[in-house]
Structure 1
Amino acid sequence: MLESKWGLRFVALALALFMFLSVNNVFDELLNADSDTADMEIIEDVPVEILYEEEDYYVSGAPEQVNVQLFGNASNIKRLQTTRDLAVYLDLRNRDIGEYEEHFTIEGLPENVTAEIVPEAANVDIQELVTKTFEVQAEISDSRIGSDHELKSITVEPETITVVGGESQMNRIQYVRATLSDNSKITEDRVEEAEVSVFDAQFNKLDVKLDPGRVRVEIKVDERSKEVPVSFEVNGQVKKGYSLKSVDLNYETVEVFGSEDVLSGIDEMNVDVDIDGLSQSTSQDVKIDLPENVDRTEPAVLQAKIQVEENS
């Protein structure tokens, strides 16, 4: 047959038909159309659309997402898992102010597929809508500040946010806080983004809407320091026939930098002034020897003015 013109045409037509049916999943649909075995799959985190009068009411208690269990035709379920072309609703348009147990509804299911929503219902609270403006407070844990630093200032931008919620929730608001998620040590000025949360007097988080929900927090730190007086000790002897008249330092105090524990044990800094062999007045730089665990001093070097006079 393949040697004839009509035989070749028949084979070509059969191959073309086979490829057409394969590409369009006709074989899969025929194989599964009469199947008595129901397939079951789960689509997780399907968004919930809440239908209600948003200009007048506020709804709390409804989940943002649910899981959907699908039963039925395997190919249709597989296609739905890929496209996620379905919608879950919580219809509260005929509800007034109050508390309700409301069941979810679903749209977009193909033929031969049924669904169960988990959870199947939500306990919601419908309240009169209230809008208020609050100042945002940001707090930095002391453990985040480097041991040799101290917090200078915290600035939040924007300083205020708009809070929208039900009347009872809004009346419970005591704290509006910017929560910083970074736990790294702070040893220099920095800017972080923070999520804003709203709490009642017992620090229970309240179900309200925030605009904006994140703020910019500018953190400024200073090196920890302490001002202490400076004393000096004279080392050596002036040249024979001369006397030391006076020693004056150009600074009476210096700024000492270090941790809080180190600084608490420092009440004075001492320097050595070397006069050995001097026969005339002079000025000399005097370096401050740092005690253990002291980072630095300002100034780091002092100047000693030494007055020497000849014996009469």
Structure 2
Amino acid sequence: MLESKWGLRFVALILALFMFLSVNDVFDNLFNDDGENPESQMIEGVPVELQYDKENYYVSGAPSEVNVQLFGNNSNVKRLQTTRDFSVSLDLRNRDVGEYEEHFTVEGLPENVTAEVVPQTANINIQDLVTRTFEVQAEVSESRVGPNHQISEVNVIPSTVTVMGGESEMNRIQYVRATLNDSSRITEDRVEEAEVSVFDSQFNKLDVRIDPTDVRVEISVDERSKEVPVEYEVNGEVADGHTLEDVKLNYENVTVFGSEEVLANIDSVNVEVNVDGMENSETKDIEMELPEGVSKTEPAVLQAEIEITEN
């Protein structure tokens, strides 16, 4: 039959029909009475919706996400794996204060798909809602500050947040911190966004609600500096027949800038006033001999008022 033209056409038609039926899951529906594919798919990280009276109660112990194992028609399961067009919830609207083991509910599945939540239950603790206001402290790591700078001021805006939770959790609160996630070097004033977290005395993060959850942190920095005296030395001799009467610097002290280690080793700044061959009084700019590691000085240049008289 395969040697004839019509025989080849017939075989090609059968193969094409077989592929069409396979792609459209016809065989699955024929050989599985319930229309489900024996294979299943695990959907990870599905959000959990809590349904309860948020005005009066606080719920702890519920996971924010669960994994869901889907069983059923292959095409529908694959579609749900992509779209996640279903929801997982814990309905606690008929529960009062107390501890419960609750089953998750999966909604939005087509008729030929079933689901199993992993884990199947959650241990829930329902408490009366307690609301308090706390001041927020900002944590700025010193390791982020440039070696020639230091933090002068840190302001948190808003400075307070509202914390809501069960009484047992609220009584454990010791620290309300704004944690900065940026790790870049700080060498100038800047503003950063920070997430607010609440901790107990052992720095365990507490399961509470915070409003607002994020704050603005304004960081002000100054360059490290130190004021030191200026010591001068006169070099050279004035011209013959003249006398050096006096030398006065316009600043007795200057401010030097640098790292903490450099500044610790500086007690003074030395300058040289060269009068060699001078015949008349004048005011000269004097360069300072800066120790290694000093980034700048204020003022940057000194002036020496040199008084000379003729004999």
Question: Is TM-score (shorter-chain normalized) higher than 0.5?
Answer: yes
What's the offset of the Cα at 1:27?
7.3
2:6 paired residue number:
none
Gap regions ≥5 residues in structure 2: 1-16
What's the offset of the Cα at 1:303?
0.7
Out of 28, 31, 38, the position equivalent to 2:27 is 31
- In structure 2, C-alpha distance between the alignment counterparts of 1:27 and 1:279, rounded to whole Å: 107
Q: Deviations over 1:64-112 (max 9, x none)?
A: 1111101122122123223322221112122221222211111222223
- In structure 1, C-alpha distance between the alignment counterparts of 2:225 and 2:202, rounded to whole Å: 37
What's the offset of the Cα at 1:256?
0.2
Partner-residue secondary structure (3-state), 1:203: coil
What's the offset of the Cα at 1:305?
0.6
Alignment of 1:186-201 (within 5 A): 186-201=186-201
Alignment of 1:147-166 (within 5 A): 147-166=147-166
Given the alignment of the two structures, is residue 229 of structure 1 paired with residue 229 of structure 2, yes or no?
Answer: yes
2:78 paired residue number:
78
Q: Deviations over 1:165-196 (max 9, x none)?
A: 11111111111100011112111111111111
1:140 paired residue number:
140
What's the offset of the Cα at 1:30?
3.2
Given the alignment of the two structures, is residue 276 of structure 1 paired with residue 272 of structure 2, yes or no?
Answer: no
- In structure 2, C-alpha distance between the alignment counterparts of 1:251 and 1:119, rounded to whole Å: 76
What's the offset of the Cα at 1:29?
4.9
1:227 maps to a residue whose letter is E
- In structure 1, C-alpha distance between the alignment counterparts of 2:221 and 2:85, rounded to whole Å: 52
1:35 maps to a residue whose letter is F
- In structure 2, C-alpha distance between the alignment counterparts of 1:222 and 1:103, rounded to whole Å: 57
2:251 maps to a residue whose letter is Y
- In structure 2, C-alpha distance between the alignment counterparts of 1:259 and 1:27, rounded to whole Å: 71
More displaced stretch, 281-290 vs 221-230: 281-290
Partner-residue secondary structure (3-state), 1:38: strand
More displaced stretch, 261-270 vs 288-297: 288-297
1:32 maps to a residue whose letter is D
Q: Deviations over 1:50-72 (max 9, x none)?
A: 11111110001111111110112
What's the offset of the Cα at 1:248?
0.4
- In structure 2, C-alpha distance between the alignment counterparts of 1:300 and 1:200, rounded to whole Å: 51
The number of residues matched between the two structures is 289
Partner-residue secondary structure (3-state), 2:289: coil
2:243 paired residue number:
243
What's the offset of the Cα at 1:123?
1.4
More displaced stretch, 226-235 vs 123-132: 123-132
2:124 maps to a residue whose letter is V
1:7 paired residue number:
none
- In structure 2, C-alpha distance between the alignment counterparts of 1:77 and 1:147, rounded to whole Å: 57
1:223 maps to a residue whose letter is E
Alignment of 1:1-312 (within 5 A): 28-36=24-32, 38-311=38-311
Q: Deviations over 1:272-303 (max 9, x none)?
A: 00111112211111011221111011111111
2:28 maps to a residue whose letter is N
Give the fraction of aligned pairs with identical amino acids, expressed as a percent.
Answer: 64
More displaced stretch, 89-98 vs 188-197: 89-98
TM-score by length of 1: 0.88
1:147 maps to a residue whose letter is P
Q: Deviations over 1:195-241 (max 9, x none)?
A: 11001111110001111111111111111000000010000001111
1:185 maps to a residue whose letter is R
- In structure 2, C-alpha distance between the alignment counterparts of 1:82 and 1:286, rounded to whole Å: 75
- In structure 1, C-alpha distance between the alignment counterparts of 2:224 and 2:154, rounded to whole Å: 17
CA contact (8 A) 1:165 1:208 kept: yes
1:254 maps to a residue whose letter is V
- In structure 2, C-alpha distance between the alignment counterparts of 1:131 and 1:186, rounded to whole Å: 36
CA contact (8 A) 1:32 1:75 kept: no
- In structure 2, C-alpha distance between the alignment counterparts of 1:78 and 1:48, rounded to whole Å: 21
More displaced stretch, 181-190 vs 90-99: 90-99
Partner-residue secondary structure (3-state), 1:143: helix
Partner-residue secondary structure (3-state), 2:127: strand
TM-score by length of 2: 0.89
CA contact (8 A) 1:69 1:115 kept: yes
CA contact (8 A) 1:176 1:196 kept: yes
What's the offset of the Cα at 1:150?
0.8
2:169 maps to a residue whose letter is Q
